[in-house]
Structures are given as structure tokens and as C-alpha cells.
Amino acid sequence: MSEILNLLSYTFMQRAVLCGIAISFSAALIGVILTLKNYSMIGHGLGEVGFAALCLANMLNLPQIAVSIPIVIIAAIIIMVISQKKGESADIIIALVATGALALGVIITSFTSGFGTDSYNYMFGSILAMNQNDVILSIILSILSIGIYIVFYNRLFLVTFDETYAKATGINVALYQFIIALLTALVVVVGMRMMGTMLISSLIVFPAIIAKKFTTSFKGLVILSVITSIICFVIGIFASFFLSMPAGAAIVFVYMILLILSRLFSYRIS
């Protein structure tokens, strides 16, 4: 415990923990909706889009966040619209967007500095390098996510489980799909600094999947997902420091262990 407290005395660790908790919170909230709507892999697809956007920002020498946010938001909306309006499988659309964006990012990188430290950080994250702006963005994102859940809880519930009934009751389903796409894109862009484009989807998918093993109610799923997400992050970030492991990979590994344990537990009680 004394070593943990000593770590928390460093500014870079305080920023990492604050950012990580805020992003994990937001990712768990949006992850519940995406998982229930069968959009589990959208985080991976948007992560690849984020990689291409970061490469583009680097090539043009522009602020990474300013370039990444609009591009990833547009990609999220396109995925939602095509899969909903055209009747295409969400998995197919996500796969096409992901592979295309990754290829574009590699091409852009090959024309600039090539794969180096920046490219590695884009793909696998660098949570200890987070600055004050990252902390502010993460906190704003978590507040925004909580606010949307509180204000629109019942409507999000209906849109998640039965869009046809939601439309029949007069709910503007397209608006809430846009809100979901917006929150997902923001979680991916802000979370890329922590987990990298290759691992960001784990923050979105794992908490809800694990929580579904222990609850059947929507409210319970939301609460348990958030708790799971934060606990796994905290364990992962400190384990990465003490075991000299990459933070993103350590967090995913904690998720994997908890997922296996949850499955074993569910088998025992069934």
C-alpha cells in the first residue's frame, strides 16, 4: 500500500489514474448500449479510423484531437446510418471501415516519418504521457455521459431494446442514434491516448460482457459495468507499473482473467 501511495504522489500517475477512471466510466456506459444493440466491434472499427486520423494530423502538423474528433464522429454516424437504413450487417460495415482506415493510416505513415515511437503510441497507447488537457477532456466526457444517461435514461432504454416500439411512441430514434454515435466516437478518441487504437474496444466491450453474467436488468447492467470497468482499470494500471508491462495490455489482461472467472462462476451456479 505504501508503494501505491508513493506512486500516486507523482503528477504523471495522478493524471493517468484520473483520466483512466473517467474514460473507463464513460466507456462502460456506452458499452452497455453498443453491446445490447450488437455493435460490440464498433470501438475497434473507430479505433482504426482514429489511427488514420492521427496519422493525418501528424502529416499536416495539426492538433491531433482537432483532427480526430470530427473524422471519428463522421465515421461512427456513417456506420450507424448504413447498417440501419441499408439493412447491411453492422459487423460487415465495421470490418470494411476498419480495414480501409488502417490501410489509409499505414499509407499516410509511409509517406511521412514511417513507423516510429509516435505510431507505436497511437496503436498501443501511452497513458503515462497524458497531460492536463487529457484530464480535462476525460472528465468532461464522463460528465457528459452521466448527464445523457440521467436525462434520457428511459428513451435510451427503449431505443436500445426496441427501436420499432420507440418510434411508435414518438421518440426520435435517429436523434438518439446520433447521440450514441457521438458518445462512442468521443470515448474512442479520448481513450486512444490511454489504450491505443488497437485496444480501445476492450474498454467498451469487456465490462458489459462480464456484467451480463451477473445481472439481467438494464440498470443493474449499467451499474455493474461501470464498477467492473473502474476496478479492472485500477488493478491493471498498478500491475503494469509493478510488473513493467504496457498499461493498455495489462488492463486488457485483467479483463480477460475476470471474464474467465465470471464464466467459471456462471457454470458453477447453473
pLDDT tens digit sequence for 75-103? 888 888 787 766 666 778 888 888 898 88
Q: How many other C-beta atoms lie within 10 A of the C-beta of residue 259?
A: 17
Amino acid at 83: S
Q: How many other C-beta atoms lie within 10 A of the C-beta of residue 197?
A: 30
Taking CA atoms, 268 is separated from 168, 259, 262, in Å, by: 42, 14, 10
Q: Residues 151-205: pLDDT tens digits? A: 888 888 888 888 788 888 888 888 888 888 888 888 888 888 777 777 788 888 9
Q: Give the model's pLDDT for residue 224.
A: 94
pLDDT interval class at 214 (50, 70, 90) = confident
Q: Which residues, 6 or more positions from 123, have their beta carbon under 8 angstroms from its beta carbon?
A: 51, 196, 197, 198
Q: How far apart are CA 134 and CA 28, in angstroms?
A: 19
Q: What angle do CA 166, 170, 176 make, to 5 degrees?
A: 60
Q: Residues 34-54: pLDDT tens digits? A: 888 878 778 888 888 888 888
Q: How far apart are CA 171 and CA 168, in angstroms?
A: 7
Amino acid at 91: D
Residue-range domains of the chain with CATH: 2-269 (1.10.3470.10)
Q: Which three cell numbers stand for residue 121?
A: 503510441
Residue among 234, 249, 212 nearest 33 (CA): 212
Whose cell is 495522478? That residue is 14
Query: Mean pLDDT in the chain?
Result: 82
Tell me what the mean pLDDT of segment 136-154 comes to.
86
Q: Which residues, 6 or more positions from 42, have their beta carbon under 8 angstroms from its beta carbon?
A: 34, 76, 79, 90, 94, 184, 201, 204
Percent of the chain with pLDDT over 90: 13
- Taking the chain, what is the end-to-end CA distance rounded to the nearest angstrom? 37
Q: Give the model's pLDDT for residue 253.
A: 92
Q: Residues 217-270: pLDDT tens digits? A: 888 999 999 999 999 999 998 888 888 888 888 899 999 999 998 888 765 444
Q: Which residues, 6 or more positions from 85, have their beta carbon under 8 angstroms from its beta carbon?
A: none
Residue among 249, 257, 3, 230 nearest 126 (CA): 249
Q: Give the model's pLDDT for residue 235.
A: 92
pTM: 0.84
Q: Which three cell numbers stand for residue 112?
A: 511521412
The phi-psi region of residue 115 (left if phi > 0; otherwise alpha if psi is between -120 and 50; otherwise beta) is beta
Q: Give the model's pLDDT for residue 121.
A: 64
Q: How far apart are CA 153 and CA 135, in angstroms?
A: 26
Whose cell is 470501438? That residue is 43
Q: What angle do CA 161, 147, 188 make, to 5 degrees?
A: 75
Q: Which three cell numbers stand for residue 108?
A: 499516410
Residue among 156, 204, 202 nearest 179 (CA): 156
Q: Which residues, 6 or more positions from 106, have their beta carbon under 8 angstroms from its beta carbon?
A: none
Q: Residues 194-210: pLDDT tens digits? A: 777 777 888 889 999 99
